[in-house]
Chain A
Amino acid sequence: MDLNTETNSQISASAPTGSELVVQTIDLHKIYQGVEPVHAVNGVNLEIAAGEFTAIVGPSGSGKTTLLNIIGGLDRQDSGDVIVAGASLANLPESVLTDFRLNNIGFVFQAYNLIPVLTAQENIEFTMLLQKRPKEEREARSTELLNAVGIGGLGDKRPSQLSGGQQQRVAVARALAPKPTFILADEPTANLDSHSTATLLDIMLELNKKEGMTFIFSTHDQRVIDRARRVITLEDGQIVSDERR
Chain B
Amino acid sequence: MVTKLAWRNLWRNKRRTFIVIAAIMFAVLLSTVMDSLQAGVYENNIKNMVGFYTGYAQVHQKGYWDDQIMDNTFEDVEGLKKEILANSHVEEVVSRLESFTLAASRKKTTTTQLIGFDPEAEQALTKLKDKLIAGSYPSPEDRALLIGEGVATKLELGIGDSIVLMGQGYHGVSATGLYPIMAIAKFGSPELNKSVIYLPLKEAQYFYGAENRLTSYALLLDKGSAVDEVVADLQQRLDTHAYEVMNWNEMMPWLLQMQQADAGGNKVMMGILYLVIGFVIFGTLLMMIQERQYEFGVVMAVGMKKRKVALMTLIEMLFMTLIAIVSSFTLTIPLLWYFKENPIQLGGEMEEVYQQYGFEAIMPASLDPSIFYYQAIVVFVLAMLVYAFSINKIFRIKPVEAMRH
Which A residues contact B (CB, under 8 angstroms)? 69, 72, 74-75, 94-95, 98-99, 101-103, 107, 109, 112-118, 126-127, 129-131, 174-175, 178
CA distance A113 to B304 in the complex (A): 14
Cβ A174 vs Cβ B302 within 8 A: yes
Partner of B298, one of A69, A94, A102, A115: A115
Residues of chain B within 8 A (CB-CB) of A118 are: 5, 8
- Shortest beta-carbon distance, A213 to chain B, in Å? 16
Across the interface, do A115 and B303 meet the contact criterion of CB distance under 8 Å? Answer: no
Is B351's beta carbon under 8 Å from chain A? no
Whether B252 sits at the interface, judged by CB under 8 Å, is no
Task: Pick the residue among A75, A112, A116 that contacts B400 (CB under 8 A).
Answer: A75
**B8 pairs with A98, CB closer than 8 A:** no
Produce 1/0 per residue, B285-305, CB < 8 A to A: 000000000110011111111
Q: A74-B399, A74-B400, A116-B295 are in contact. Are A126 and B302 (CB under 8 A)?
A: yes
With A69-B400, A75-B400 known as contacts, the answer to whether A117 contacts B303 (CB < 8 A) is: no
- B305-A109 in contact (CB<8A): no
Provide 8 A-B residue pairs closer than 8 Å at the C-beta atoms, listed in order of the A residue. Answer: A74-B399, A75-B400, A101-B303, A102-B302, A109-B298, A117-B11, A127-B303, A130-B302
In Å, the complex CA distance between A124 and B114 comes to 88
CA distance A107 to B299 in the complex (A): 11
Q: Is the CB of A107 within 8 A of B5?
A: no
A115 partner, pick from B5, B11, B399, B403, beta carbons under 8 A: B5
A116 — which chain B residues lie within 8 A by C-beta? 12, 295
If the complex has contacts A116-B295, A117-B12, are A98 and B400 also in contact, measured as CB distance less than 8 A? Answer: no
Q: Which residue of A is nearest B292, CB measured? A: A116
State whether A102 and B400 are in contact (beta carbons under 8 Å apart), knowing that A117-B9, A118-B5, A118-B8 are contacts in the complex: no
In the complex, which residues of chain B have a beta carbon less than 8 angstroms from the beta carbon of A114?
298
Interface contacts (Cβ under 8 Å), in number, total 60
Q: With A74-B399, A117-B5, A117-B9 as given contacts, are A107 and B295 in contact (CB-CB < 8 Å)?
A: no
Instruction: Tell me the complex Cα distance, A178–B399, Å.
Output: 19
| A95 with B295: CB separation less than 8 A | no
Q: Does B1 contact A (CB under 8 A)?
A: yes
CA gap between A109 and B8 in the complex, in Å: 23
A116 to B303 Cα, complex, angstroms: 17
Query: Which residues of B have CB within 8 Å of A113?
Result: 298, 403
The answer to whether B8 touches A117 (Cβ under 8 A) is: yes
Q: How far is B395's CA from A95's CA once the two chains are assembled, in angstroms?
A: 11
- Which residues of the other chain, B, contact A95 by a CB distance below 8 angstroms? 305-307
Partner of A101, one of B1, B12, B302, B403: B302
Q: How distant is the Cα of A130 from the Cα of B305 in the complex, in angstroms? A: 9
By a CB distance below 8 angstroms, the chain A residues around B5 are 115, 117-118
Give the distance in Å from the alpha carbon of A131 to the alpha carbon of B305 in the complex: 11
Q: Verify A115–B295 contact, CB threshold 8 A.
A: yes
0/1 interface trace, chain B 377-405, chain A, CB 8 Å (1 if under): 00000000000000000000001100100
A99 surroundings in chain B (CB, below 8 A): 303, 305
Closest to A69 in B: B400
CB distance from A89 to the nearest CB of B (A): 14
Nearest A residue to B11, CB-CB = A117
**Other 19 A-B pairs with CB < 8 A, given A98-B303, A99-B305, A117-B12:** A69-B400, A94-B306, A95-B305, A98-B305, A101-B303, A102-B303, A109-B301, A109-B403, A115-B295, A115-B298, A116-B295, A117-B9, A117-B11, A126-B302, A129-B1, A130-B303, A131-B303, A174-B302, A178-B303
A145 to B154, CA, bound (A): 99
Q: Cα distance A204–B188 when bound, in Å?
A: 89
Sorted from nearest, which 4 A-B pairs have the closest CB atoms? A102-B303, A117-B8, A129-B1, A74-B400
Cβ-defined contact, A101 with B301, below 8 A: yes
Q: Mark B128-154, 1 if CB is under 8 A from A, else 0.
A: 000000000000000000000000000
- Per-position binary interface string of chain B over residues 1-19, scored 1 when its CB falls under 8 Å from any chain A CB and 0 otherwise: 1000100110110000000
CB-based contact B12/A107 at 8 Å = no
B301/A107 in contact, CB under 8 A? yes
A130/B12 in contact, CB under 8 A: no
Q: How distant is the Cα of A118 from the Cα of B304 in the complex, in angstroms?
A: 15
Residues of A within 8 A of B307 (CB): 95
B301 near A74: Cβ-Cβ < 8 Å: yes
Nearest opposing residue in chain A for B395, CB measure: A94
How far does the Cβ of B28 sit from chain A's closest Cβ, in whole Å?
A: 27
Known: A115-B295, A118-B5, A118-B8. A107 touches B400 (CB 8 A): no
Q: Given A69, A98, A174, which contacts B300 in the complex, CB threshold below 8 Å?
A: A98
User: Which residues from chain A contact B9 at a C-beta distance below 8 Å?
Assistant: 117
CA separation between A94 and B300, bound complex, in Å? 11
Contact A130 B304 (CB under 8 A): yes
Rounded to whole angstroms, the CA-CA distance of A107 and B399 in the bound complex is 12
Closest partner residue, chain A, to B304 (CB atom) = A130
With a CB–CB cut-off of 8 A, which chain B residues contact A109?
298, 301, 403
Q: For residue A112, which residue of chain B has the nearest CB? A: B294
User: B299 — which chain A residues lie within 8 A by C-beta?
Assistant: 115, 126
Give the complex CA separation of A95 and B11 in angstroms: 29
Residues in A neighbouring B294, C-beta threshold 8 A: 112
What is the CA–CA distance of A72 and B303 in the complex, to the nearest angstrom?
Answer: 11
The residue from B8, B295, B302, B305 contacting A127, defined by CB atoms under 8 A apart: B302
Query: Separation in Å of the B302 CB from the closest CB of chain A?
Result: 6
Q: Which residues of A contact B399 (CB under 8 A)?
A: 74
